[in-house]
Chain A
Amino acid sequence: MFKTIIKSICIFCLLLVFTVNSWSQEPIKIGGLFAVTGPPSFLGEPERNTANMVVDQINKTGGIKGRKLKLVFYDTQGDATKAVQAATRLIKEDRVSAIIGPSTTGETMAIIGTIEAAGIPLISCAAGIKITEPVKKWVFKTAQNDSLAVERIYDNLKKRNMNSVAILTVSDGFGASGREQLKLRAKDSGITIVSDEVYSPNDTDMTAQLVKIRGSKAQAIICWGTNPGPAKVARNAKQLGLNLPLYMSHGISSKKFIELAGDAAEGITLPSGRVIVANVLPKSDQQKKSLLAYVNDYKNHFKIEGDHFGGHAWDAVMLLKGAIERGGDSPAAIRDELENTRNFKGIGGIFNFTPQDHAGLTKDAFVLVTIKNKGWMLVK
């Protein structure tokens, strides 16, 4: 008796699913993998919010060629194993046409095998240079390469006639990649790294590292990390009365950093995406329109300012939209059309994908900003 009831409920549900689907034209499914909880949640949360917001907007304005977009999203918690499981699920069960994310380099590298085997286009929101170098057939990314940020800093150092620096990097994926690039580019740029220090993401006090740097002959300090570590570095540096120019990475380019570091943030220089300086950009800037649209929309929806992390997801959804509009929703067509994307004016920069370049950005994707009076100022 009980079994029959269960069976009939199952059949009823199945019928329901089929009828619902046949009501309207099927939506185009895209997958999202974001670390909404866990340590990288400062990336995943704005990314998910942005992706949802953009998909809603697209659907409200008639979808893509009359078809709605549907975002199927899983939280990876910053865990590579969970990312692989979720990617498999998106491909096998949800049968998505393309995937956006994951949020971090480690997770992206972990799912590349699955993605390549299944032949589903992936637009990662992580920054690591390894993701697209060497080029993988199905993998693209929207976050700027670390090397572009490093070049920006080194250019500025040379302009100021400084050639010996101390680097202080965080011991996670972001810091390790930054450290690698800082060391790699130093030689070509004529920069000598005289002190190479590391701190761990949960460190409460960076005085020891800074004292060591003070003892070296460094003319400037480059700190590479994401909040809250660099804020502690800035505070400790001020506390020690360290009078060296302090450079930081694009990992801290949000108002949160200024709030955390307080007075110690003044005078810090960093390469950043254009999001945070959207309203002070000159009118001639090609990205200004996209940037202002994104910043205002995000503020209206979530009551806080959009940052460039969310921007990576904005770029990814819009790139997909363009590709689907041009070539339809089969994974292979999306991939081919993504590769043909030229001069897409996004949040992270102006994208030009080619078969040899799946990152698509140049160092113009970054501007150099200095923190002045609790705000951002463009460095010419």
Chain B
Amino acid sequence: MELFEQLLQYTLSGLSTGAIYALIGLGFAIIYNSTSIINFAQGEFVMLGGMLTLFFHITLGLYLPLAVVLAVVVATAVGALFERLAISPLKDAEPIILVIITIGGSILIRGVAMLLWGKDTHALPMFSGNEPIILMGAAMMPQNLWIFGITLIIITANRFFFHHSISGKAMRACSVNRIASRLVGIDVKRMMLFSFVISSAMGAAAGIIIAPLTMTSYDVGVMLGLKGFCAAIIGGMSGGMGTVAGGLIVGVLESLGAGLISSGYKDAIAFIILLIILFIRPQGLFGKGEAERV
């Protein structure tokens, strides 16, 4: 019974961190599919989400929901600006050069955040109370429910957008064949901008909903970004359920590994999975040769 309770607790906390990895991973996948670059600044939008909410809510004293909305808007604007200023002018460059630019961008964003808000860690208040919910012996914060709920909503909306709206379908078209898309009249450059807008908004949302649980500081983006990247790789860079599953797998395995094997290897677990996947199934766990993209 005790072991069951332990396992349940590990799985629950694994799933909630996994949901965050999934959101970040989706951001990676969306950008990869419409621009074929890996945006290593993705983690910084997660940081921006948390830090901006903190800034609007604590420093400026705004009402929390308003602060959240403003944070997403500002982070998204930063994402769009980043695409316009750093990625878009170099549209004919090799993807590898653009990837390096995103690394530079992430260092820049991190540095500016450090100068603006300092190096301290900050805590955001829980959205709804500090009383844990006990579920068959395993404890869970109401915040975890927020995480599951918001992740679910974002993923559903995402799916709907990419499969049932003109813009979403156009973005999927770009990912399949850019030149052909241009020939049928799709504005490829605009789609690239869209992909940055969507993924920075998603990253910011992820950063906001976990900030009350894990706290936030100018440098939280690095590790979360890398874990999200693992999730996306496991999902074969698909913008759909593959990446979501990848995120949950990384989260749960990390948590189980820390609990059952040794807590010292917690971070190593995610990266060992990443390496194994890259060696054995570079197309991702669920890919069939060519993965369905976006």
Contacts and interface: CB of A to CB of B under 8 A. Distances in A.
Interface of A: 37, 41-42, 45, 171, 197-200, 202-205, 207-209, 211-212, 215, 227-228, 231-232, 235, 238-241, 256, 259-260, 262-263
A45 B114 CA distance: 13
Given A205-B13, A211-B6, A262-B130, 18 more contacts: A197-B263, A199-B263, A204-B224, A208-B259, A208-B263, A209-B258, A209-B259, A212-B259, A215-B6, A227-B121, A231-B215, A232-B215, A239-B141, A240-B139, A241-B132, A241-B134, A241-B139, A260-B121
A209 B121 contact: no
A198 B262 CA distance: 8
B287 to A, nearest CB: 28
B266 interface: yes
24 contacts: A37-B119, A42-B119, A198-B262, A198-B263, A199-B258, A199-B266, A200-B264, A200-B266, A202-B223, A202-B267, A203-B267, A204-B17, A204-B210, A204-B214, A205-B13, A209-B263, A212-B263, A215-B2, A231-B123, A232-B215, A238-B132, A240-B139, A256-B120, A260-B121
Interface string B211-249: 001110100101110000000000000000000000000
A211 B132 contact: no
Given A207-B9, A207-B255, A211-B259, A198 B2 contact: no
A235 B211 CA distance: 13
Contact of A205 (B119, B214, B267): B214
Residue with the highest number of chain B CB atoms closer than 10 Å, among A171, A207, A232: A207
B10 interface: yes
Residue with the highest number of chain B CB atoms closer than 10 Å, among A205, A228, A238: A205
B23 to A, nearest CB: 14
Contact of B123 (A197, A199, A203, A259): A259
Contact of B119 (A41, A202, A203, A259): A41
Contacts of A204: 17, 210, 213-214, 224
A232 B259 contact: no
A235 B214 CA distance: 9
A203 B215 contact: no
Nearest to B121: A228
Nearest to A42: B119
Nearest to A210: B9
Nearest to A198: B264
A42 B6 CA distance: 35
A204 B139 CA distance: 16
Nearest to B13: A207
Residue with the highest number of chain B CB atoms closer than 10 Å, among A208, A231, A260: A208
B250 to A, nearest CB: 13
A257 B114 CA distance: 19
A197 B258 CA distance: 9
Contacts of A208: 9-10, 13-14, 255-256, 258-259, 263, 266
A175 to B, nearest CB: 10
A212 B139 contact: no
A308 B263 CA distance: 30
A5 to B, nearest CB: 37
A191 to B, nearest CB: 21
A264 to B, nearest CB: 8
Contacts of A227: 121
B141 to A, nearest CB: 6
Residue with the highest number of chain A CB atoms closer than 10 Å, among B217, B259, B262: B259
A239 B121 contact: no
Contact of A240 (B132, B210, B256, B258): B132
Contact of A203 (B2, B114, B262, B266): B266
A232 B263 contact: no
Contacts of B263: 197-199, 208-209, 212
Given A199-B263, A232-B215, A205 B123 contact: no
Contacts of B123: 231, 259-260, 262
A198 B263 CA distance: 5
Contacts of A42: 119-120
B259 to A, nearest CB: 4
B139 A239 contact: yes
B1 to A, nearest CB: 11
A199 B268 CA distance: 12
Contacts of A171: 264
A208 B224 CA distance: 18
Contacts of B2: 215
Contacts of B13: 205, 207-208
A281 to B, nearest CB: 27
A211 B9 contact: yes
Interface string B255-275: 110110011101100000000
A216 to B, nearest CB: 11
Contacts of A260: 121-123, 215
Nearest to A39: B219
B136 to A, nearest CB: 14
A203 B224 CA distance: 10
A139 B191 CA distance: 61
A200 B268 CA distance: 10
A87 to B, nearest CB: 24
B137 to A, nearest CB: 10
Contacts of B262: 198
Contacts of B215: 228, 231-232, 260
